[in-house]
Structure 1
Amino acid sequence: MHGIRFNQVTLAAKDMAASVLFYQRLGLILIVDSAPRYVRFEFPDLPAGGEPATLSLHQVDPDWTAPTDWPLIYFEVDDVPALLREADLIPIAPTEMKSYLWTEADILDPSGNRIRLYAAGPARRFPPWRVKSASSD
């Protein structure tokens, strides 16, 4: 069986310059700049032994309307409130600890794409209700 790996997500950008600044404020690293048509970022932290995930932006018409709830893109961070403060971002609703043990806050990028910042710690892969037969590595 061939392995499957996450590569990237491409989001719409109505205002490429504003979108580039937004994602740079979150700490992403611009690696391809074909603005205003297309840009690609790399996430700053490498997964153990792997390649970094990327996020791309593709220009859309300024009249385009993003769906209100989808896509929902998750960005894992160490400390949600600290990142919000450091990046000077205001979430849609207050940061909240969820019943599944993740701290979450949703923000919108300049094009209306919904980004969920979350900190899960060990609960991301090893929640108390983890299936016992699942690999523990």
Structure 2
Amino acid sequence: MRLNQITIGTTNLGRSEQFYGLLGLQLIVKNDHYLRFRCPEGDSTFSVELVESVSDDGKVSIYFESDDLDDQCARLRTAGVALDSPPADTSWLWREAWLRDPDGHRLCLFYAGDNRLNPPWRISDTVSNRSADGRS
């Protein structure tokens, strides 16, 4: 199984189209109530649908990885996008910057490299494979 798409709500499709285009996502579907973007690398997609209201309970965070995180953040700041926190190294060996989209959704722009899937504390493949197929 692989993650293909995430869909979030927006109260303003035009504003979201501009914002996610600025992040570098490529618009591939557009109608009166829905946008779908292709991520610049890989084959995953990201969608935005028109809703009456958006509530942010702080429990969902959307992560976009970028090999040139610092340059991307500088480009966004130049374009007028406010960052909640600038790029910084973390104790879990990622470099992260946080911001919110125009509807208040929490976004993390990050670079993890090999540490995303293979951090030094990763569970061994033997344990992981047994757990994934239901055997212990």
Q: TM-score, normalised by structure 1?
A: 0.82
Counterpart residue number, 1:101: 93
- AA aligned to 1:38 is Y
Counterpart residue number, 1:60: 51
CA-to-partner distance for each residue in 1:95-135, whole Å, 9 max, x for gaps?
22110000111111111111111100111112122223458
Counterpart residue number, 1:84: 73
What is the correspondence of 1:1-137 to structure 2 with a 5 Å cutoff?
A: 4-35=1-32, 37-46=33-42, 52-61=43-52, 64-87=53-76, 88=79, 89-133=81-125
Q: Distance in 2 between matches of 1:70 and 1:96?
A: 22
* Structure 1 segments unaligned to the other structure (5+ residues): 47-51
Q: Shift of the alpha carbon at 1:68?
A: 4.4
- AA aligned to 2:65 is E
- AA aligned to 1:76 is E
Superposition RMSD in Å: 1.6
Q: Shift of the alpha carbon at 1:57?
A: 0.4
Q: Distance in 2 between matches of 1:73 and 1:125?
A: 17
- List, as ranges, runs of 4+ consecutive aligned residues in structure 1 with deviation greater than 3 Å: 132-135
Q: TM-score, normalised by structure 2?
A: 0.83
Point out which structure has higher relative CO (alpha carbons under 8 A, 6+ apart).
Answer: 1
Q: Percent identity?
A: 36
* Structure 2 segments unaligned to the other structure (5+ residues): 129-136
Counterpart residue number, 1:49: none
Instruction: Indicate the SS of the match to 1:94.
Output: strand
